[in-house]
Structure 1
């Protein structure tokens, strides 16, 4: 019996020596629509998504705008800024904002080494914002 050989220009099992799996025609693997250009789509550099930068800008705008608008509304109503619930909520907003920014940087970046640290940041930020919400709604004297 004669052994079957691979077509010329390919290695074993019909693969080219460069590992692309394309034959002489340049059409992709079965089930993929190849354009015959030799795999130029796979060699194109990946474009970075603009969403992380947009989300970071919107998050910064919110973190700056919330205290400013809150202090302005407290001034319009006539509440003194020295009230305990207002000072407490302002002081809790700062670590909550830092946790939120740090968590956003970890989620959008490549810092996936420690998911427990991200969970701790998320829970700490949530606790700060939930307590701030309670202080704003309940207004304890």
Structure 2
């Protein structure tokens, strides 16, 4: 199994098959606009700009499950990301990343790469690095800055 078995609604409301990203290295991130880690959008965008031509895709999934830090609707979230951080990577519609209503993609991701203390995602900006075959190769904690995983991305792109 891989992430290519899943689909999700983009922030523009279109259903997107993750199999469309087959052959790319992907960084999946659960995001929030009102979080202490929100400035990571800048680092994520820089990674995307640096490596998109080599096959990196970044997929942002807004989530409001952690202290109500993503209260806006999809239009507000999209506008915030573009206006404040110049985000051009693919953002998706708001999802749950844990609990009984968790999006199936995040159930899969946390099964493949459980956290240190708990399998569930504990906070915004948890990141999952996916190889060109759609398999999870690493999970990063919310406090891990995007620039600190640059080498892992480069390694995955070179495989």
TM-score w.r.t. structure 1 length?
Answer: 0.28
Q: Give 1 or 2 for the bigger CA radius of gyration.
A: 1
Tell me which protein shows more helix as a share of its residues: 1
User: Whose RCO is larger (CA < 8 A, sep 6+)?
Assistant: 2
Tell me which protein shows more strand as a share of its residues: 2
